[in-house]
Amino acid sequence: MKKLNIYFTAGIPQLEDTAEIIKIIQEAGADMMEIGMPYSDPVADGEVIQQAHIKALENGMSIEKLFEQLAKTKGEIHIPIILMGYINPVLSYGFEKFC
């Protein structure tokens, strides 16, 4: 059986859109979603994702802000959410705190 996984970068098009986008992806029938955690030097990504990271950071997205937004969806989202990102911001945030 095929599964549909949707990717988007947290914090775009506007900073506060993330929680609503998560809900819409689930309502649209996705089996899981992958949320990109923006990083200031996303050299392993293509140009589109790099620009998305830059825009999200300009909007004020951070790991802490993303976790606040994810908390807003607690109890409403029943499909897996995978966080995708670089280790640098995770280490800066604190590995134990992140986990």
Task: Assess whether 27 carries a catalytic annotation.
Answer: no
Residue 17 bears catalytic tag: no
Indicate which residue of 31, 34, 41, 68 is catalytic: 34
Within 13 Å of residue 53, how many CA atoms lie on the same side as its CB?
20
Catalytic residue among 20, 45, 47, 96: 45
Among 95, 93, 89, 97, smallest CA distance to 36 is for: 89
Q: What are the angstrom distances between the C-alpha of 95 and each of 2, 35, 62, 99?
A: 33, 18, 15, 6
Which active-site residues does the annotation give? Answer: 34, 45
